[in-house]
Structure 1
């Protein structure tokens, strides 16, 4: 009983010590440091980009690449100003040639990707594309990668501790069991997505993009999800609810818009 009790107390102590606060004031679990998440994300990103390059899946159209790079650069310039700790990140974006995939993603340290299917199927304006990329940049700024990695560790430790405490014969989780447990975290994931929306719309507004585009973006997303949600919506709030929340923020965000577009920060284009 002493071993079981000590294990549970140790787990509880770790969880308390590892709590931190997101840019919006939300409590986050951090068993993985943001620095570690950045290091691991860079490895994963380079492997992914390398494979895409070999398969000729990276866009070669200079006009498309320049558009994404410039819009992302304006957002990064604001991000670095608002979040100085991101100044030395290796900001980069991959434009993936996949017309069927409506998706975009971000890793720790400013490693991002956007699929041509998202740009083309939604016929995105520059301001709408800025909302997408602002959202992804927000994930990086809010340390969501480290948070998700931490949730995975906590879930595995927690279930193992319960198994030992109840004399379960097998407290070791398989990869499939871990994945099943993580599915329970969907509401938290949606909280993070809403947080990225809030940070992202502000980044876009400060970069000079009309915040109303956040609403029109999700109107388009709602239409495209008519035959089943695209991958980008798998853990996101419903488009209708999202529109309402973002619409309420538009007047406030418009007050943050500069009289003219701001500078463009350097963002590496994956090749």
Structure 2
């Protein structure tokens, strides 16, 4: 219990949106980032083998430019993000999904751009939201919670010496990082920080409302988008994003 209490900290500065919650972080960041990197590389290898990994062209440049502008603002919330080894993967797939693994490993699927006809401002809100999860280390927090609950207790992180062991652990960690849903509290934090990141980067914060309206509309079918399986879109969320506008509009106007 003493070790767990000592491991509680807030991973980011509050920012204008005032996110300041202490988190349980009993797993070293380096080890979570290592496993996330293994999983990210495996994902990209599979996409490349299938001819689905996009590395050039208008769509790739569009995503790369938006991500780069957001990355420039990341040190506002945590200075060490300036030294992260940021990477971007654009995957040609109809999935309506995006993510950002620990350490700044961004993945965007073309389906979310094409199907929802996202503007640059809206796409920035989606990527900013995912980057915010990485900045807040929500993935590391979930892995720590899983460790505390003994869900990952069968594997000792420090014993991962072989590539086979790393791959096995990466799969287990990926389940926690990418499959298990974020808590409502984590989602609200990502909404807030992502919104401020995008506003500081010069993207219209009003797009945070319109993009989630599109998400909500897309979820009315028989099969809701995968993106919404861990990112619930409710009227209350849109209302919260609307209420946040006053805090970030001045930042957007200053960036312009």
Residue 225 of structure 1: how far off its partner (Å): 0.2
Q: Which of 172, 188, 192 is 1:198 aligned to?
A: 192
Task: Show CA shifts across 1:62-117 (max 9, x none).
Answer: 00000000001000011134421111111111111112x11111111000101111
| Partner of residue 27, structure 1 | 22
| Partner of residue 17, structure 1 | 6
Tell me which stretches of 4 or more aligned residues in structure 1 moved more than 3 Å. Answer: 157-160, 258-261
Aligned length, in residue pairs: 227
Mind listing any 5+ residue stretches in structure 2 that lack a counterpart? 13-18, 155-171
Larger radius of gyration: 1
Mind listing any 5+ residue stretches in structure 1 that lack a counterpart? 1-11, 161-177, 262-271
| Partner of residue 269, structure 1 | none
Instruction: Decide whether the 8 Å contact of 1:207 with 1:258 is kept in 2.
Output: no
Q: Does 1:48 align with 2:37?
A: no
Cα RMSD between the aligned structures?
2.4
| Partner of residue 68, structure 2 | 73
Q: Does 1:105 align with 2:99?
A: yes
Residue 220 of structure 1: how far off its partner (Å): 0.4
TM-score by structure 1 length? 0.77
Matched position secondary structure for 1:254: helix
Instruction: Decide whether the 8 Å contact of 1:59 with 1:97 is kept in 2.
Output: yes
Instruction: Decide whether the 8 Å contact of 1:107 with 1:140 is kept in 2.
Output: yes
Instruction: Decide whether the 8 Å contact of 2:182 with 2:230 is kept in 1.
Output: no
Q: Which of 254, 257, 263 is 2:252 aligned to?
A: 257
TM-score by structure 2 length? 0.81
| Partner of residue 39, structure 1 | 34
Instruction: Decide whether the 8 Å contact of 1:194 with 1:237 is kept in 2.
Output: no
